[in-house]
Structure 1
Amino acid sequence: MRGVPRLRDLNPLRLLNNNFSYQRLPNFGGDNGSPFNLQEYRWPSPNSRLPERWRWIGRMSVTKLVGICVAVIVTVALLGGGGYHRAQRHKSKGPDRPPPYYWQHYHRLNGYYNGLRTLVPYSQYEPENRWNQSIPPEKLPAKEMKKLPHEPSLDPVLYSPYPEWGSAEYTREHEPFHQCYLDVEEKIPARDVYAYPGLPQNMSEPLFGSYNELGLQEEMCFERFGRLGPYGYGYNESRGGLGIGNRSERAGSDKVFKQSGYVNYTGMDWGSAQKRCYDKNRARFDGDQASGKQRVKREAYVLRTWTGYTYTPHQILSLRAMINELSLKSGGEYDVHLLLHVKNNSIPIWASPEIYTQTIQDNVPREFWNITTLWSEQQMTMYYPEPFPDNFANMAGSSIHGVYRSAHFALQWFSQQHPEYDFMWNWEMDVRYSGHYYEFNNKIGEWAKKQPRKGLWERSRRFWIPKYHGDYQNFTEFVERETVEKDVAENDVQRSGPVPIWGPVQDFPHRGMLAPANETIPSTSYEADNYTWGVGEDADLIVFNPLFDPALTNWVFSWDVTGYNRSLPVPPRRAAIITVARLSKRLLNTMHEETWRMRHTMFPEMWPPSVCFHHGLKAVYAPHPVYFDRDWDAGYMNSAFNYPRNIWESPFGWGEHNLLGSSFYYNSGFSGALWRRWLGQWENGEGGRRQEEEGMGRMCLRGTLHHPVKHELGPMD
């Protein structure tokens, strides 16, 4: 039967409680210069319990679970044990065996941990990365560390990526901007953050993406007091702070607080502050711009949370930073929302305003009550009623209305309730950003708007590695040459969709599709276009990992496709790992229409990209900077990530182990560990107050998107 995935499409490693998540790598002896010296540093698994992507196992029927387990055992035996068993045998049989994965041969990069005592102006900065061409710089010996200045050699400065609101250029194009405040009396203005005008010497460079290409600042860095101090970090509850960070190394932090002051957040109401800010600036967003000035588009920043979620002090700091930087400092361009999943379907949240309010108050800190909206799976069952027939392969074994398989239902519903927003950012609670939120989100949107449609799907399916591909223009030309020369099958799997992709992809045999909008149909041929179509068009979808073709991988959820005729081949589709994304109103409306009218849906990481793919909407992978803990060879990195030899080795299948040491992926271990070290916490025998005080000071990172950060509870010493 066509609807049943082949054995090669299953990923047994996903069904095991795999202890090789990103653990201590054995030391093979030798010194730091040896490329086979696997230093004993342990990055923990993002979650010591069963990872979120595997929790569906417990909800399977016994028959299905037994059947899959049998398939797993047979597959693992045929594959000679796979990566998991290679790792386990390696750990149990001692250091004479080679490491399980090739990337473990590479040098560990240590420059991330060079602190403020090594700060230099960007003109003097030299990264430690050698791209496996030579030995990275050694750590400074103890006697040299003693010679470093006790405090940073540079002073922190105000960091403001906002337009010059009062400039003649801005006021000529837009209605006036009005400053926003935290309090009703307008005595406490929205907060500023502070950064250092330089970088720690030999700090590592990102391996994917680029600051310069996206228009992000790359010559400054953020440490924890300048970044989080304005939101209550580093001072006691008696002053209205959160009382965390007080015991950590803090040389020079007084210069931050001298500028930022101390804010008492007791009794703060962020929902009211957002509303006051929007009301003051309403004219800037008015759809009827009688003055002839440009309307400023509005965006919603939607964080997906749930009943029972624990709001730690660090999580509160992140939420405050988002609201202040995105909403209040921008004069209401963004609103931050908590979309709270009520897991108990028996709670009558829609029958009683009192119960609705009480549910929020029982599950969310007081300061965020007025930015919270409730939803439930039972509600989605009524909003998108059955039937949803003809599922190709429900690998999760759960309901189509379950949050795991259809988290997008709630976002689609929320968008229908809030037509005032042009875009919605679907954000996860375990994402952290060490830089400035407005700069990141605004620059990402501007960059995506500039991208031409020609070759966009082809560029977006690859990781851009500047050290290998050169600048983005060179990368674009490289992809174009490869695209026009390669209209053939790959790895014995027929491409899903034409090459190159140009406009809506609806030439597959399934019927019942909604017609694409006229504006998504190209007016010229691919060859005739000179990279002009799409320039100046806002992206309907912005994602932060490549938009890949699941047919060319063994991604386990590739066949979770519902509502299409199972007597025909599975429709062509695209996916992007991690649901963190920006979605346009046009895309969300199309997803909504396809869901309720046509009964079409797919796994959450596949549904928005596939709707864009089918309807000719503009989808972009934004090449944000991604760091790795090891000094990969650029050529090998390109082959491993962009040209796996077969579907088994795709980074979006079994080859996902290649991203364990990255700063952004669903299963990264390095991301959380790096974030906790930046917070000054002791992590697996390294970091903490004593090491920072006796060494190079606290860390200072450029803006970096971290995912996942499963906890922030490490000790300070």
Structure 2
Amino acid sequence: MTGLPRWRDLDPLRVFRTSRFSYQRVPNGSPFDFQQYRWPSPGRLSEKWRFWSRMSTTRLICFAIASVVFLSLLVGGGYHTAINQKGKDVDGRLPWQHYYRLDGYYNGVRTLVPHSKWEPDNKYNQSIPPTQQDQQEELQLGKEPPLNVVKYNPYPNFASEEYRKDHQPVQECFLDDGQDVRVPDVYAYPGLPQHMVDPFFGSYKTLGLADDVCFERFGRLGPYGYGYNVREGGIGIGNVSERAGSEQVFAQTGYVNYTNVDWGSAQKQCFEKNKARFSVEQPEGKKRVQRHAYVLRTWTGYQYSEYQILSLRAMIAELALKSGGEYDVHFLVHVKNNSIPIWASQAVYKETLQKNVPREFWNISTLWSELQMVNYYPEPFPDNFANMAGAGIHGVYRSAHFPLQWFSQQHPEYDFIWNWEMDVRYSGHYWEFNNKVGEWAKKQPRKGLWERGRRYYIPHIHGDWANFTSFVERETQEKDIATNDIERSGPVPVWGAVRDFANSGMLPPFNATLPPHSYDSDNYQWGVGEDADLIVFNPLFDPSLTNWVFSWDVTGYNRSLPVPPRRAAIITVARLSKRLLQIMHDETWAQRHTMFAEMWPPSVCFHHGLKAVYAPHPVYFDRDWELEHMNQVFNYPKEIWDSPFGWGEHNLLGSSFYYNSGFSGALWRRWLGQAENHEGGRRWEEERTGRMCLRATLHHPIKTENGPVDPPEEGKAS
């Protein structure tokens, strides 16, 4: 097998595909108008196909092959087959675009009901969902929210006898050096807007997250400066927003003055007060608390919007300060200009940092550059199978893990590092999400872990998690029906390290990752209580069973042999253990092994027998999908071309979490009170059901947060 991809793995239509889209307000129309270019897609697509200006030799070869394949399909009558495999109907629309739009997301705080009285908007395509207008008449709305906000506190009672029996005491942390300004609390409504949509993928209950509360913008962001003026220490946005009932939040939190907050100093003081909790040496009967670094990958020239600053403050307050120092939030700032000698001059380093990062975050920021990575991981990096990006191996586009590996080497004090992207938002409480996901992953047994992790969990199809686990085992024992006659990439089921492939230069496996007994004799015991080395938020799929464009971006393995088996998870947002990052680092410098950023951490886990977990967090869709069809599309694509991690990625455009989702940004901006394509905004909320209130949801990507307060006149609510 040679270094270039097989023809069946190429996607010749990809290079012509548009990556911009616009969500439409027509309830039964197409939610994405490809003729309008209002919303930029994630930068990776626009960068990926800046084709003619950055054409490398490898890309020219691949493009030429793809062109031949495309012309062959066209001349041979296969073009229509390719289009059909992409899923389009005869009217030019995709099947999911025929489903009715779910409007329950946009019901506001005036429609709040206790969870026991809530009925989701989802009918799973069995009937037309009720419209907002019907709901408004049905609910007999008042002018104020029918429920009162409550303080949302997901932390254990640190002062309780139960907690202190097993742990060192927790000292309170503050926002200022004088230890006078308390970290504010977050507020939520103890209910849901009537007809709020239920998630299609994932489950709150499975992960242990609260599913009976919702967050609106004042309770969620007000404690961090939203909704009051700069002269009071706020951030100066939200004052003209619909705000009925918001006074309840400020009556309890007051107006925190963020003018002179230094988050680096606050985090350092918090750790120093609580460092006994994290010491390896603990008094008898006490448990050591693990430490986490929450790393935000940003870059010079990045524009920090007011809304993003609110989210960043929330991360630090909730993860680091309120937890008694369990987390430190860091900015890992990519200096894009390689000619700036940040390693040679403290003055240059300081000037570069202060020009590119808001003042309050200066002392949690670390600069790095690609030239620095060239010196840290020097050439050569031989035997690349296919560099479809046409970019250098040290570039952040292909190797975003390089600076993360370097960061971990500089900070051995952290047990885990969360790799977080700047375009991710979370409408719920950060510590609750991170803590619950980590606890859930720790409980997962190794048996069937990779098999469960490659599928989307659809509770209304699969039942509870125990039933899903049993179902996957039965399916695995019968046969891996999703692969049919396609060549496998690794054994099924996976049990321990996957190393029985023809290649050379592998680092030896760790004894701790070797299975203690056989797969068949294990009763879902191995792995329970073991921290996950990798937690991702999309399935851990096998690239060889898709036509994902970066499947063959594998470097340092013998090209005269087949490409190694591998795994990948779309979006680099993840939690990585210190052990995993150490192996990634060693494989990189000692063996010159690496892969595309979304493929490298999962593949290292695959090869070395580390514990890798896909966390089934709640994911929403803007359309009322029929569930059997959804299960078929996402978990059992009929052909390699249909995979949602290839040509089938269009099926995720209407989801709340994917690399090129359009719905995620639209939903987030509407939640912020902004108008979006003639819907939403201040007048809309005031004349209808009030501001939106969402359950805790992970949104990606959010490329802009600065929308209009009101739609144009023709979009005014009637």
TM-score under structure 1 normalisation? Answer: 0.94
- Letter aligned with residue 3 of structure 2: G
Aligned to 1:8: 8
Contact kept, 8 Å, 1:46 with 1:672, in 2: the verdict is no
Aligned to 1:427: 420
Aligned to 2:445: 452
Q: 1:89 to 1:652 in 2, by over 3 A?
A: closer
Aligned to 1:672: 665
What does the per-residue CA deviation read over 1:422-478, in whole Å, with 9 as the maximum and x for residues that have no partner? 000000000000000000000000000000000000000000000111111111000
Q: Structure 2: how far apart are the matches of 1:509 and 1:88?
A: 34
TM-aligned CA deviation for residue 292 of structure 1: 3.7
Q: Structure 1: how far apart are the matches of 2:198 and 2:418?
A: 27
Picking from 29, 50, 54, the partner of 1:38 is 29
Q: Structure 2: how far apart are the matches of 1:144 and 1:229?
A: 31
Q: Structure 2: how far apart are the matches of 1:82 and 1:216?
A: 46
Q: Structure 1: how far apart are the matches of 2:597 and 2:151?
A: 39
Unpaired segments ≥5 residues, structure 1? 91-95
Aligned to 1:53: 45
Q: Structure 2: how far apart are the matches of 1:683 and 1:558?
A: 36
TM-aligned CA deviation for residue 62 of structure 1: 5.8
- Letter aligned with residue 55 of structure 1: E
Q: 1:498 to 1:17 in 2, by over 3 A?
A: closer
TM-aligned CA deviation for residue 22 of structure 1: 5.3
Aligned to 2:189: 196
Aligned to 1:185: 178
Picking from 342, 357, 378, the partner of 1:364 is 357
Aligned to 2:126: 133
Picking from 397, 418, 432, the partner of 1:404 is 397
Aligned to 1:93: none
Q: 1:75 to 1:233 in 2, by over 3 A?
A: farther
Picking from 688, 691, 698, the partner of 1:695 is 688
Picking from 586, 590, 606, the partner of 2:583 is 590
What does the per-residue CA deviation read over 1:570-605, in whole Å, with 9 as the maximum and x for residues that have no partner? 000000000000000000001001111111000000
Q: Structure 2: how far apart are the matches of 1:99 and 1:129?
A: 26
TM-aligned CA deviation for residue 66 of structure 1: 4.7
- Letter aligned with residue 48 of structure 1: P
Q: Structure 1: how far apart are the matches of 2:346 and 2:20?
A: 47
What does the per-residue CA deviation read over 1:385-420, in whole Å, with 9 as the maximum and x for residues that have no partner? 111111111111111111111110000000000000
TM-aligned CA deviation for residue 60 of structure 1: 3.5
Q: Structure 1: how far apart are the matches of 2:481 and 2:633?
A: 21
Picking from 482, 489, 493, the partner of 1:496 is 489
Contact kept, 8 Å, 1:299 with 1:422, in 2: the verdict is yes
Picking from 585, 604, 612, the partner of 1:619 is 612
Q: Structure 2: how far apart are the matches of 1:486 and 1:49?
A: 38
Question: Which sits farther off after the overlay, 170-179 or 490-499?
Answer: 490-499
Q: Structure 1: how far apart are the matches of 2:322 and 2:277?
A: 14
Q: Structure 2: how far apart are the matches of 1:108 and 1:447?
A: 32
Q: Structure 2: how far apart are the matches of 1:591 and 1:468?
A: 37
> Does residue 1:554 correspond to 2:565, yes or no?
no
Contact kept, 8 Å, 1:491 with 1:646, in 2: the verdict is no
What does the per-residue CA deviation read over 1:618-643, in whole Å, with 9 as the maximum and x for residues that have no partner? 00000000000001111000000000
Count of aligned positions: 703
- Letter aligned with residue 605 of structure 1: E
- Letter aligned with residue 119 of structure 1: L
TM-score under structure 2 normalisation? Answer: 0.94
Q: Structure 2: how far apart are the matches of 1:379 and 1:413?
A: 10
Structure 2 residue matching 1:305: 3-state secondary structure: strand
What does the per-residue CA deviation read over 1:220-277, in whole Å, with 9 as the maximum and x for residues that have no partner? 0000000000000011111111111111100010011101110111111000000000
- Letter aligned with residue 52 of structure 1: R
Structure 2 residue matching 1:338: 3-state secondary structure: strand
Structure 2 residue matching 1:281: 3-state secondary structure: helix
Unpaired segments ≥5 residues, structure 2? 711-718
> Does residue 1:706 correspond to 2:699, yes or no?
yes
Q: 1:40 to 1:174 in 2, by over 3 A?
A: closer
TM-aligned CA deviation for residue 13 of structure 1: 4.0
Structure 2 residue matching 1:140: 3-state secondary structure: helix
Contact kept, 8 Å, 1:423 with 1:583, in 2: the verdict is yes
Aligned to 1:148: 141
Structure 2 residue matching 1:597: 3-state secondary structure: helix
Q: Structure 1: how far apart are the matches of 2:346 and 2:417?
A: 26
Picking from 345, 351, 355, the partner of 2:344 is 351
Q: Structure 2: how far apart are the matches of 1:708 and 1:281?
A: 35
Contact kept, 8 Å, 2:381 with 2:592, in 1: the verdict is yes
Q: Structure 2: how far apart are the matches of 1:185 and 1:526?
A: 57
Q: Structure 1: how far apart are the matches of 2:619 and 2:407?
A: 31
Aligned to 1:109: 102
Aligned to 1:535: 528
Q: Structure 2: how far apart are the matches of 1:413 and 1:621?
A: 25
Q: 1:563 to 1:87 in 2, by over 3 A?
A: closer
Q: 1:46 to 1:469 in 2, by over 3 A?
A: farther
How much is the aligned-residue C-alpha RMSD, in angstroms? Answer: 2.3
Structure 1 residue matching 2:133: 3-state secondary structure: coil
Picking from 509, 515, 523, the partner of 2:508 is 515
Contact kept, 8 Å, 1:20 with 1:84, in 2: the verdict is no
TM-aligned CA deviation for residue 47 of structure 1: 4.7
TM-aligned CA deviation for residue 10 of structure 1: 1.9
Q: Structure 1: how far apart are the matches of 2:81 and 2:95?
A: 11
Q: Structure 2: how far apart are the matches of 1:84 and 1:241?
A: 54
Q: Structure 1: how far apart are the matches of 2:82 and 2:138?
A: 40
Q: Structure 2: how far apart are the matches of 1:334 and 1:350?
A: 27
Q: Structure 1: how far apart are the matches of 2:278 and 2:561?
A: 47
Q: Structure 1: how far apart are the matches of 2:634 and 2:69?
A: 24
